[in-house]
């Protein structure tokens, strides 16, 4: 569509975001116990999402009511997002505890951690950004191939779609924007959430596109960003990518303050002088926001339960009539 509009030009760009491995301070481990008298399981797990693990394990693995499994997460030992999934050993320990009628324990070795822990990123993205020569972006089209690894992990499809695809507009007003993501199975370890989970990838894509456009039209990258910021009066703002509307923001003062603190214009002068001497100095400018905390509860549903007061625990309270 952008190619048929008058006075517009489309600039293509391809970026590749490499696959990252994760190495937490402590490897994963599980201790499981089964009580044959009550049919209840207890599992100590190195997990950052025990409530979600209980939901998934009872519904899709054990086929039992949720109140028959208690998941306890002590100190996690670091994760970078690597311990928010259901791993095979997590389920295997529950089966083993019941089969042996004894507590069972599995502690991951560092070698196993390197070979099987879910990895992150691994995108190849084609971007086409359309705009006018006077520095106005009118549209952007993004097509991403996202590796899922050898098999689908717990929340793997949601990373390049919900958290990546819906954040591609960043902090900018882009009148027409389109994103298509293809998840691809490969021969690597599974690929899932890692340190930002889709949002750093989205920031990288839109910021590289802004830099490309600024270079093509000959306008300072900081000014290109300033010209396209979502303004305070625009909120709540719908980017058109399916994310809940942005509720608030004031990006221009943040950029101005950052430029002031680093002495941006002085840096530009030093850059020009160095170029005359045959030295190339780079100056990076980035403005971004990201969905974080994942709310409201009506939208996030079961995945948010247990974030705050314990929603699944229960107690009995007796109040004496005389106080």
Residue 283, in any domain of the structure: no
The domain spanning residue 108 has which CATH number?
Answer: 3.30.365.10
Residue 287, in any domain of the structure: no
- Based on the structure, what is the number of domains in the chain? 2
- 192 and 242 belong to one structural domain: yes
Residue 323 is predicted with a pLDDT of 57
Residue 155 is predicted with a pLDDT of 82
Convert the pLDDT of each residue in 63-122 to its tens digit: 999 999 999 999 887 777 788 889 899 999 999 999 999 999 999 998 988 888 888 888
DSSP letter string over 216-251?
Answer: HHT--HHHHHHHHBPPGGG-SB--SSSSPPB----H
Convert the pLDDT of each residue in 116-145 to its tens digit: 888 888 899 999 888 888 899 999 999 999
What is the SS3 assignment for 160? helix
Burial of 128 (0-12, 13-18, 19+ CB in 10 A): middle
Residue 274, in any domain of the structure: no
Quickly count: other Cβ atoms within 10 Å of residue 72's Cβ: 11
Give which of 109, 116, 113, 183 is closest to 146, Cα–Cα. Answer: 183
Residue 157, in any domain of the structure: yes
pLDDT (tens place) for every residue of the chain, 323 residues total: 333 333 446 667 777 787 877 788 888 899 999 999 999 999 999 998 899 899 999 999 999 999 999 999 998 877 777 888 898 999 999 999 999 999 999 999 989 888 888 888 889 999 988 888 889 999 999 999 998 888 888 888 888 888 888 889 999 999 999 999 999 999 988 888 878 787 889 999 999 999 989 998 899 999 999 999 999 999 999 998 887 788 889 999 999 999 999 999 999 999 999 999 999 998 999 998 887 766 555 555 555 544 444 455 567 777 877 75
Give which of 90, 35, 95 is closest to 63, Cα–Cα. Answer: 95
- Residue 246 is given by DSSP the state B
Cis preceding-peptide flag for 217 (omega within 30 of 0): no
Residue 275, in any domain of the structure: no
Residue 189 is predicted with a pLDDT of 85
Q: For CA atoms 270, 276, 280, 282, give the dihedral sign.
A: positive
69: domain range? 24-117+293-323
To the nearest 5 percent, what fractions of the chain are helix, strand and coil?
35, 25, 45
Residue 310, in any domain of the structure: yes
Residue 249, in any domain of the structure: yes
**What span, in angstroms and rounded, lies between the C-alpha atoms of 253 and 236?**
19
Residue 296 is predicted with a pLDDT of 56
Residue 3 is predicted with a pLDDT of 37
**What span, in angstroms and rounded, lies between the C-alpha atoms of 138 and 142?**
14
Residue 273, in any domain of the structure: no
């Amino acid at each position: 569509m952008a190619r048929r509009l008058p006075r517009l030009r489309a600039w293509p760009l391809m970026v590749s975001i490499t696959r990252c491995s994760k190495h937490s301070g402590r490897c994963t481990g599980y201790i499981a116990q089964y009580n044959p008298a009550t049919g209840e399981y207890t599992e100590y797990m190195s997990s950052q999402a025990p409530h979600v693990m209980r939901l998934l394990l009872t519904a899709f693995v054990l086929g039992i009511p949720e109140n028959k499994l208690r998941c306890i997460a002590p100190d996690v030992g670091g994760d970078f997002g690597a311990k928010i999934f259901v791993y095979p050993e997590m389920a295997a320990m529950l089966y083993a505890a019941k089969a042996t009628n004894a507590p069972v324990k599995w502690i991951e070795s560092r070698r196993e951690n390197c070979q099987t822990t879910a990895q992150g990123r691994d995108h190849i993205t084609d971007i086409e950004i359309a705009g006018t020569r006077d520095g106005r972006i009118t549209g952007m089209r993004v097509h991403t191939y996202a590796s899922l690894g050898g098999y689908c992990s717990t929340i793997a499809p949601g990373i390049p779609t919900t958290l990546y695809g819906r954040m591609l507009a960043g902090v900018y007003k882009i009148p027409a924007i389109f994103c298509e993501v293809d998840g691809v199975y490969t021969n690597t370890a599974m690929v899932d959430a890692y340190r930002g989970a889709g949002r750093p990838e989205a920031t990288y894509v839109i910021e590289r596109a802004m830099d490309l456009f600024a270079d093509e039209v000959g306008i300072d990258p900081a000014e290109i960003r300033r010209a396209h910021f979502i303004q305070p009066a625009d909120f709540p703002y719908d980017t058109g990518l399916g994310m809940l509307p942005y509720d608030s923001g004031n990006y221009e003062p943040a950029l101005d303050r950052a430029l002031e603190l680093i002495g941006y214009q002085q840096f530009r002068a030093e850059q020009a002088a160095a170029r005359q001497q045959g030295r190339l100095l780079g100056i990076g400018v980035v403005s971004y926001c990201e969905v974080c905390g994942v709310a409201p509860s009506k939208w996030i549903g079961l995945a948010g339960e247990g974030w705050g007061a314990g929603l699944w625990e229960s107690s009995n309270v007796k109040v004496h009539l005389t106080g």
